Amino acid sequence: MKKLLLLPVLLFSTLVSAGNDLDLYDNQGDPVAYIALDDDLTIYSWDGEPGAYLKRSQNNEFDVYGFNGSHLGWFTKGMLVDHDGYVACAVKNLIAAPNLPSLKSLK
């Protein structure tokens, strides 16, 4: 059981960039969003607009919810996956050639 609880912690600790944010990139390698680890796992657009949040699910992965309460998909293995199975964005090390990120807007 302890090993299962450590998995999400290890995932986040290896993927976190400076400032306690986890940057997410689209399939072109452009930064599009980030997860604010110090802000209740809120997902912000790269422009700084809050759009969704993560909630730990029963299988120790994360569900993605909009602020209106609707389930949007899952964050699993460093990928944000929608209900149709499409990867909306992913962490940098899963993208073939990520572009250098510009500065984020303030929250």
Q: What is the mean pLDDT of residues 7-36?
A: 73
b/e map 28-59, b = 16+ CB within 10 Å: eeebbbbbbbeeebbbbebeeeeebbbeeeee
**What pLDDT was estimated at residue 97?**
64
The residue with tokens 């949040």 is: 53
Q: What is the mean pLDDT of residues 44-61?
A: 93
Of residues 2, 1, 80, 7, the one with CA closest to residue 44: 80
**What pLDDT was estimated at residue 77?**
92
- Give per-residue pLDDT as tens, 68-84: 999 999 999 999 999 99
**What pLDDT was estimated at residue 12?**
47
Of residues 38, 70, 37, the one with CA closest to residue 52: 70
Is the model's pLDDT at 8 over the cut of 50? no
